[in-house]
Structure 1
Amino acid sequence: MDARISIEPGDTDGLLALSEWLSGEEGLRGHVRTVFGPIGETDLGSAVELLTVALGAGGAGSVLASALVTWLKTRRTSAKITVEAEGRSVTLDIETVGDVAPLLEQVLRIGDGD
């Protein structure tokens, strides 16, 4: 199962920073991929639209949830992260991360075999 992660409103730099952060996590290394959006008529190239993280057995969902919460807490912006997995989604930001973190773990645990 893959988790899809986006940052509102279309924060390409934030997605690239998050991709680098997640790729540095021991349990996620090699599982993080960037997905590019379509190239517009006046664009010189496509921008990163979202990240996908391959989750499987072994607690990768818990590692991802923890890494997302930590990354969000270190940000000084009001970015909102939306995480989707197996038809469920949750959106969190720096103000709601404490309240939403358990729900995030539950959404990511569904495909984690837990």
Structure 2
Amino acid sequence: MLDARIAITGGDPEDLSSLYEWLVSEDELRGMVRVSRRPIGQTELGSAVDLLTVALGAGGAGSVLSSALVTWLKARRTSAKITVEAEGRSVTLEIDTLRDVSALLEQVLGADDRHGTDRDA
């Protein structure tokens, strides 16, 4: 099982809640999305940052998550940054300069759709 972690920095404080609601409305992701807390770093002040964790298994859940993220990002009217991380790979996207990010997200999240152990393909 692969976990994808999604963090949003800047922008509207409600962006993470909005993304959570968006993702749980996807039939293929329902029950797989949860809000997690990141520990506070030694140089950080304040409370821990919330992030979303999505449990991805076989069957194309990475592609579903990628498509849902792209659609949600395109609908945003904010200047936040979103970071998606899975299996040691990550990508940070600026929502206000969003272009076609599908290929980047597929590289990070597409691991569940590949067969075998080849992680560099």
TM-score, normalised to structure 1, is 0.83
Query: Residues 15 and 47 of structure 1: is their aligned pair in 2 closer, same or farther, counting only changes over 3 Å?
Result: farther
Gaps of at least 5 residues in structure 2 are 41-45, 115-121
Aligned-residue offset at 1:48: 5.6
Q: What is the distance in 2 between the residues matched to 1:92 and 1:35?
A: 20
Change beyond 3 A, Cα 1:6–1:97: farther
1:15-94 matched pairs, under 5 angstroms: 15-37=16-38, 49-94=50-95
Greater per-residue helix proportion: 1
CA shift, 1:11, in A, is 5.3
Q: Shift of the alpha carbon at 1:96? A: 3.1
Residue segments in structure 1 that go unaligned for 5+ positions in a row: none
Q: Which amino acid aligns with 1:78?
A: S
Listed one character per residue, the Cα deviations across residues 76-102 of structure 1 (whole Å, up to 9, x for unaligned) are: 11121100000000011332341x320
Amino acid at match of 1:69: V
**Which contiguous aligned blocks of 4+ residues in structure 1 show a shift greater than 4 angstroms?**
none
Kindly provide the CA deviation profile for residues 66-85 of structure 1, in whole angstroms up to 9, marking residues without a partner as x.
Answer: 00000000011112110000
The AA in structure 2 aligned to 1:65 is S
Q: Percent same amino acid at aligned positions? A: 68
- Does the aligned pair in 1 maintain the 2:66–2:105 contact within 8 Å? yes
